[in-house]
Amino acid sequence: MFLFHGVITHFMQAEMLKEITDLSEEELERKRAIGSITTKTLSYLTQAFVTGGFNWILPVVFSKATDPLWPDPQASIEKRVEVEIYGREVRAMQSMIVHKITACSLLYGRLFTLSPNIRIERRDRAATGIHAYEFTQLDFEVRHASSRDIMKLVEDLLCGLIAHLRVEAKEELKLLGRDLSVPERPFRIYEVTGNEKEFCWVVNMPREFYDFEDFDTGKWDNYDLYLPGFGEVLSGSRREYEYQKIISKMERDGVRKESYKALLELAKSGRIKPTAGAGIGVERLIAWICGSKHVCEVQPFPRIPGFVGEL
Ligand code: ASP
Ligand code: MG
């Protein structure tokens, strides 16, 4: 999709804003093909994690301790959903990063979840084609893993998925006019920006307190994965686990320490283990697979920034 500086064209508005109740039979057929690819993708990925010894944990929606999404130059949140329940202030989940680190330290050395994330993006993000105000993250974490371990795991996972879908979703891909090929490994690594035409990693981005920062060199041990002709589909890092570093980053960044009491107490007593992980934007991955113009096309009930439908 080609958009000019965030302007939403009439074409896009008309196409994007359709709920399933408004779709033509032809559009419904496309939606069904995407749904079938979604089922096959989730089935493949969850199976791969389970086979790889990962524990599947159920998601949390309301919590005191959600991803601050700050400071992150890419974030564009216009509102944080905060509600009071049982006399306590909680937020709608922006990502389960704190829960992943905690559970990976205390419970399971390898875990993943399919987690609904609520991010009330600024309205101009409707035009990027890759933002939705509710989406699902396939979020995972591994104790004592390095960045390289996670990158290799992701590369193998995605190459395996593409090879699988080429065979198992042949009909659907044909209907969608999509021809996928398995990329070469390892993917290239860039600092700052990558090459739009290939699978590539972008590393070393200053952002939230939980990503590992080397205070001596100023380098960040984190990574985003970009898909060709699409954009970012995954972000992750090696994590901070030392109390003093976490506290000093929270203070530096103006992050509310009272929201992360459990994490801070565990870190203080040395119970947070070194971990690394990442999260895949499920709708983004499927939109790329299907060649969709907008992530909302792969959502049965579109969640486009700025547009609240009837369903
Ligand atoms: N899931 C990401 C991570 O594991 C955090 C995010 O949602 O941006 O680092
Ligand atoms: Mg992030």
Output the CA torsion 57→102→64→221 (10° steps): -110
Q: Which ligand 1 atom minimizes the distance to the CA of 141?
A: 4
Distance CA 280, CA 203 (A): 16
**Closest C-alpha residue for ligand 1 atom 4:** 278
- CA dist., res. 257 & res. 264, Å (int): 8
What DSSP string describes 239-305?
Answer: B---HHHHHHHHHHHT--GGGGHHHHHHHHTT-PPPEEEEEEEHHHHHHHHHT-SSGGGGSSS---T
Q: Is the CB of 287 under 6 A from ligand 1?
A: no
pLDDT band at 155 (very low <50, low <70, confident <90, very high): very high
* The pLDDT of residue 9: 60
pTM across the whole model: 0.95
Tell whether omega for the bond before 73 is within 30 degrees of 0, i.e. cis. Answer: no
**Would you say residue 256 has pLDDT above 80?**
yes
CA of 132 to the centre of ligand 2 (A): 14
Supply the pLDDT for residue 14: 60
Cα–Cα distance for residue pair 283/194, rounded to 1 Å: 22
CA of 95 to the centre of ligand 2 (A): 8
Helix and strand numbers, DSSP H then E, in the chain = 8, 13
What mean pLDDT do residues 293-311 have? 95
pLDDT one-digit tens code per residue, 75-123 = 899 999 999 999 999 999 999 999 999 999 999 999 999 999 999 999 9
* Ligand 1 in reach of 68 Cβ (< 6 A): no
> How far does the centroid of ligand 1 lie from the alpha carbon of residue 160, in Å?
22
Q: Whose CA is nearest to atom 8 of ligand 1?
A: 235
Per-residue pLDDT reduced to its tens digit, 168-214 = 999 999 999 999 999 999 999 999 877 789 999 999 999 999 999 99
Ligand 1 atom with the smallest distance to the CA of 222 is 9
Q: Are strands 110-118 and 55-56 parallel, antiparallel or unpaired?
A: parallel
Tokens of 183: 């990329």
Region 21-25: mean pLDDT is 96
Lowest model confidence (mean pLDDT) among 1-10, 29-38, 210-219: 1-10
What residue ranges in 80-204 does DSSP mark as E strands? 82-85, 88-92, 110-118, 120-121, 134-143, 188-191, 200-203
Does residue 139 have its Cβ closer than 6 Å to ligand 1? yes
Q: Are 264 and 243 in contact (CB under 8 A)?
A: yes
Give pLDDT, residue 2.
34
Gap between the Cα atoms of 36 and 30, Å rounded: 10
Q: What is the mean pLDDT of the chain?
A: 94
Residue 139 tokens read as 């979020």
Cα separation values, 165 from 45, 180, 286, 291, Å = 11, 9, 11, 14
Position 7 pLDDT exceeds 80: no
Domain 10-183+272-298 coded CATH 3.40.50.620: no
Listed by start position, the domains of the chain span: 10-183+272-298
Where residue 301 falls among pLDDT bands split at 50, 70, 90?
Answer: very high
- Give pLDDT tens digits for 47-60: 999 999 999 999 99
> Is the CB of residue 235 below 6 angstroms from any atom belonging to ligand 1?
yes
Q: In a mutational test of the pocket of ligand 1, which residue from 57, 60, 97, 282 has the highest number of ligand atoms less than 8 Å from its CB?
A: 97
Q: Is 60 helix (H, G, I), strand (E, B) or coil?
A: coil
pLDDT at 3: 42
Please state the rounded mean pLDDT for residues 26-40.
98
- Half-sphere exposure in the Cβ direction for 161 (13 Å, CA): 24
Tokens 């959600």 identify what position? 66
- In which band, very low, low, confident or very high, does the pLDDT at 162 lie, cut at 50, 70 and 90? very high
Angle (CA) 284 90 111, round 5°: 50
